[in-house]
């Protein structure tokens, strides 16, 4: 199965190229950003050796729909989506922080809690909670945005003290984060889902804050099925999830958590196909529409043609 794991475009006006864990990002004339959402997949801050067909299209199209649905809350960076795997938008100076917000005791929060910690990023977590219990109010647990390696948990106080974000900007980021999470929660409820936790990234251009990157995708968010949630909690059963957590769980089961000396398990063709199928299922459950597979005959050429078409118009 074809999967796009890298691009090497030479675009008109191109100034910089950055290869992230999943995205290839091209800066155009210090004004636009061309973001290619590849089929690479990462977990525990490590890019896995094989790409997942249609994953890039799934993420790009989910993000596009949610960015459109939240532009009344905060302006976002998007100008055009010229290709199923490409978004073009404003080039912003990103804040060096990811705004992680959690409505439930799940994932990283639960792993920390289970180890005995009762504070995450300076936010107190009450005694007596079980995995996947709902917090009384969503909590914001920021992380630093690492260029290389692992993002690190950081408290609001440390962020401000280190001057990573100004006090005024951080207050606005918090406000936006809560409002976006509330909207995401509403939209998830309509689809019979619970938005468990997610992260937002913001940037600035000409003194104005923009929402950047992706939002509410299965790579940046965790969802539970609403139906049966209470019953499963009462019985102490695992929640039925819609997120990338199933990939992390498979890696953990096979002895990999991104630690030194650990080997990434072999990703067979059947496993890669199963992950691709899960991503398509995630799209259909989150968006409530049938996923239409784009033509994968020479995807890179298709993307290049669509990007050039946009840039030449500009």
What confidence score (pLDDT) does residue 145 get?
Answer: 81
Instruction: Quote the number of domains for the chain.
Output: 2
Indicate whether 148 pLDDT > 60: no
% residues pLDDT > 70 (the chain): 97
Indicate whether 59 pLDDT > 70: yes
Domain assignment of residue 256, yes or no: no
Q: Looking at the structure, tell me whether residues 115 and 87 fall in a common domain.
A: no
Place of tokens 């063709």: 269
Give the tens place of pLDDT for each residue, 103-131: 999 999 999 999 999 999 999 999 999 99
User: Angle at CA 89, nearest 5°, toward 188 and 63?
Assistant: 15
What confidence score (pLDDT) does residue 23 get?
Answer: 94
Instruction: Return all residues near 216 (Cβ < 8 A) that are at least 6 apart.
Output: 62, 63, 66, 184, 187, 195, 198, 286
Instruction: Return all residues near 303 (Cβ < 8 A) that are at least 6 apart.
Output: 4, 7, 9, 36, 83, 85, 86
Q: Looking at the structure, tell me whether residues 23 and 146 fall in a common domain.
A: no
Give the tens place of pLDDT for each residue, 251-267: 999 999 999 999 999 99
Indicate whether 150 pLDDT > 80: no
What confidence score (pLDDT) does residue 297 get?
Answer: 85
Instruction: Return all residues near 58 (Cβ < 8 A) that are at least 6 apart.
Output: 217, 218, 279, 280, 282, 283, 291
What confidence score (pLDDT) does residue 125 get?
Answer: 97
Indicate whether 95 pLDDT > 90: yes
Q: Looking at the structure, tell me whether residues 118 and 73 fall in a common domain.
A: no
Q: Looking at the structure, tell me whether residues 169 and 210 fall in a common domain.
A: yes
- Residue 123's φ and ψ, nearest 5 degrees, are -100, 125
Angle, helix 55-69 to helix 269-287, in steps of 10 degrees: 20
Q: Looking at the structure, tell me whether residues 207 and 111 fall in a common domain.
A: yes
What confidence score (pLDDT) does residue 219 get?
Answer: 84
Q: What is the CATH number of the domain that holds 198?
A: 3.30.470.20
Q: Looking at the structure, tell me whether residues 194 and 85 fall in a common domain.
A: no
Q: Looking at the structure, tell me whether residues 121 and 193 fall in a common domain.
A: yes
What confidence score (pLDDT) does residue 147 get?
Answer: 60
Indicate whether 313 pLDDT > 60: yes
Q: Looking at the structure, tell me whether residues 88 and 98 fall in a common domain.
A: no
Place of tokens 């005959």: 297
- Averaged pLDDT score across all residues of the chain: 94
Domain assignment of residue 57, yes or no: yes
Asked if residues 138 and 105 have their Cβ atoms less than 8 Å apart, the reply is: no
Domain assignment of residue 251, yes or no: no
Asked if residues 121 and 153 have their Cβ atoms less than 8 Å apart, the reply is: yes
Domain assignment of residue 131, yes or no: yes
Indicate whether 246 pLDDT > 90: no
Q: Looking at the structure, tell me whether residues 104 and 235 fall in a common domain.
A: yes
Indicate whether 314 pLDDT > 80: no
Q: Looking at the structure, tell me whether residues 107 and 144 fall in a common domain.
A: yes
Q: Looking at the structure, tell me whether residues 104 and 210 fall in a common domain.
A: yes
Which domain range does residue 180 map to? 94-242
Q: What is the CATH number of the domain that holds 58?
A: 3.30.200.20
Indicate whether 149 pLDDT > 60: no
Q: How many CB atoms lie within 10 A of CB 76?
A: 22
Q: Looking at the structure, tell me whether residues 87 and 98 fall in a common domain.
A: no
Asked if residues 11 and 30 have their Cβ atoms less than 8 Å apart, the reply is: no
DSSP of 156-222, one letter per residue? HHHHHHTTSS-HHHHHHHHHHHHHHHHHHHHHHHHTTEEEEEEEEEEEEETTEEEEES--S-TTTEE
Please compute the mean of the pLDDT values over residues 53-75 and round it to a whole number: 97
């Amino acid at each position: 199965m074809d999967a796009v794991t890298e691009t090497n475009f030479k675009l008109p006006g191109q100034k910089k190229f950055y290869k992230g864990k999943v995205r290839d990002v091209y800066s155009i004339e210090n004004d636009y950003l061309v973001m290619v959402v590849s089929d690479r997949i990462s977990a525990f801050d490590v890019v896995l050796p094989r790409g997942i067909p249609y994953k890039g299209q799934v993420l790009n199209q989910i993000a596009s729909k949610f960015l459109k649905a939240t532009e009344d809350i905060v302006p976002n960076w998007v100008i055009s989506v010229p290709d199923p795997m490409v978004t073009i938008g404003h080039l912003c100076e990103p804040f060096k922080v990811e705004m992680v917000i959690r409505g439930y005791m799940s994932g990283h929060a639960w792993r920390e809690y289970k180890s005995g910690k009762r504070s995450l990023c300076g936010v107190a977590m009450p005694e007596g909670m079980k995995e996947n219990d709902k917090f009384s109010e969503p909590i914001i647990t920021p992380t630093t945005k690492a260029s290389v390696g692992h993002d690190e948990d950081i408290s609001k106080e440390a962020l401000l003290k280190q001057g990573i974000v100004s006090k005024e900007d951080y207050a606005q980021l918090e406000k936006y984060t809560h409002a976006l999470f509330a909207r995401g929660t509403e939209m998830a409820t309509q689809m019979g889902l619970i938005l468990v936790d997610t992260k937002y990234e913001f940037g600035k251009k000409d003194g104005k804050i923009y929402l950047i990157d992706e939002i509410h995708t299965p790579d940046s968010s965790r969802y539970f099925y609403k139906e049966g949630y209470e019953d499963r909690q009462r019985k102490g059963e695992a929640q039925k999830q819609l997120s990338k957590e199933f990939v992390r769980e498979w890696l953990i089961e096979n002895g990999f958590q991104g630690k030194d000396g650990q080997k990434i398990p072999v990703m067979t063709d059947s496993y890669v196909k199963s992950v691709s199928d899960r991503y398509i299922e995630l799209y259909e459950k989150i968006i409530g529409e049938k996923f239409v597979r784009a033509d994968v005959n020479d995807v890179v050429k298709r993307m290049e043609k669509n990007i050039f078409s946009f840039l030449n118009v500009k």
